[in-house]
Amino acid sequence: MDLTRAIRELYAEKARLEKIISSLEQLLQGDVDPAAATGKRRGRKFMNAQARKEVSERMKKYWAERRQQEGAAVPAAAQAEPPSTVENLEHMARSIGLD
């Protein structure tokens, strides 16, 4: 085993452990929020009633505009009433030769 490599690995492990110990000490002192100490954010952001209402109104407006744009963009032939289920079944039967 290469001693230089082993020493390098031990120093890297020591640095990692010192960082963990430092984080734990800060948690004990109450200086840092536990979520901030780990660098990970967990959970869900909650909205109050006013924020939910604003988002709801914004999305209703968005979807109304989308429906209006789609209605103008769709050709008249595509807006025609689709064939009934019976017509679909008859068409399928003819296409596979079951007339």
The whole-angstrom separation of Cα 99 and Cα 93 is 6
The whole-angstrom separation of Cα 51 and Cα 53 is 5
Question: Which pTM does this prediction carry?
Answer: 0.32
Q: Is the model more confident about 25 or about 31? A: 25
Cα angle for residues 90, 91, 97 (degrees, 5° grid): 90
List the structure tokens of 29. Answer: 């002192």
Q: What is the pLDDT of residue 80?
A: 65
The domain segmentation of the chain, as residue ranges, is 1-38, 47-75
Q: Are 19 and 33 in contact (CB under 8 A)?
A: no
What would the pLDDT profile of 41-92 be if each residue is shown by its tens digit?
A: 677 778 899 999 999 999 999 999 999 998 877 665 556 666 677 777 787 7
Using the predicted structure, report yes or no on whether residue 11 has a pLDDT greater than 90.
Answer: yes
